[in-house]
Chain A
């Protein structure tokens, strides 16, 4: 399956919040949808889920206009909420059945996922009696009901402790391995990097970056090296290197100085210079930007 988001624009009153948003998502690959607060992630997702109608553009699944209610879609909204005074299992079954499941399938699925998240003792309890974290897990369980073909999760890691985050990541990996189409938005770069194959970065309603994460890392790390010298501050190292190699551009990073060779300086030249100075290398190698680095590079500069 391939989901195509094509040229979505959306305004609220006089303010246009989405300016021609376009990207694609493949099944069997998790897509991380990243952006700052207010960038337009949730609006895009809500347009996709037909909560809002976009002003122009469309969503296509395998080339045909997407009709969300005709597919098994698991949706976790950013603004969490279920019935606080209803029993956990009852409302999970209700939501599952509203999405087309039979009573037996809904019950089986609800029981499975509640047990998966180790909340079996709370099946007959009212939602409001659960802690916030457990309510989160139930919300996530709700999005997993009925073995959805498409999973759309808005900030799924929000409110989860590391143990539960790992449980959730395992579940996502299962869905991806089963060839499902998974999109989720998050600010937690570490988790996204672990789970996602593709990323799309949105900033102020426009897409800044989209594609395979490893490919993006390679492209952004092309011609770049990372160097750390024992006992030498990065500023001093940068000064010394730039004096020797004027074409070299440097950038500070917590893991070591980043060197952009501009294809004019080779690794050997740099190594020879460092040896000549008698410095002890602590780390040296190709620079692979983290997702956090990519995010900051693409979005932070526009702040």
Chain B
């Protein structure tokens, strides 16, 4: 249970960060997982 709680806490932080600015756009579970878990590229000078 503790492992599941930790996993879902991490997942929800990812989804929250991604979803927090998805203003007004319709979305699906598939898109949520794909976008939220994608590692973001570091900015290159």
Interfacial residues, chain A to chain B (CB-CB below 8 A): 6-7, 51-58, 60, 79
Contact = CB atoms under 8 A, between A and B. Distances in A.
Contacts, number: 20
A255 B21 CA distance: 45
B26 interface: no
B21 A7 contact: no
Contact of B43 (A51, A58, A79): A58
Contacts of B40: 53
Contacts of A54: 43
Contact of B21 (A52, A57, A58): A52
Nearest to B20: A51
B44 interface: yes
Interface string B1-26: 00000000000000000000101000
A276 to B, nearest CB: 61
Contacts of B30: none
Contact residues of B: prevailing secondary structure: loop
A167 B34 CA distance: 47
A154 to B, nearest CB: 14
Given A53-B40, A56-B44, A79-B23, 10 more contacts: A6-B45, A7-B45, A51-B21, A53-B43, A56-B43, A57-B44, A57-B45, A58-B43, A58-B44, A60-B45
A56 B42 CA distance: 8
Contacts of B41: 53, 55-56
B19 to A, nearest CB: 13
From B21, B41, B44, B45, residue with most partner A Cβ within 10 Å: B45
Contacts of A57: 43-45
A164 B43 CA distance: 39
A58 B41 CA distance: 12
18 contacts: A7-B45, A51-B21, A52-B21, A53-B40, A53-B41, A53-B43, A54-B43, A56-B41, A56-B43, A56-B44, A57-B43, A57-B44, A57-B45, A58-B43, A58-B44, A58-B45, A60-B45, A79-B23
The 9 closest A-B pairs by CB, nearest first: A58-B43, A53-B40, A58-B45, A56-B44, A54-B43, A6-B45, A57-B43, A51-B21, A56-B43
Nearest to A47: B43
Contacts of A51: 21
Nearest to A55: B41
A6 B45 CA distance: 7
B34 to A, nearest CB: 13
Contacts of B44: 56-58
A79 B24 CA distance: 13
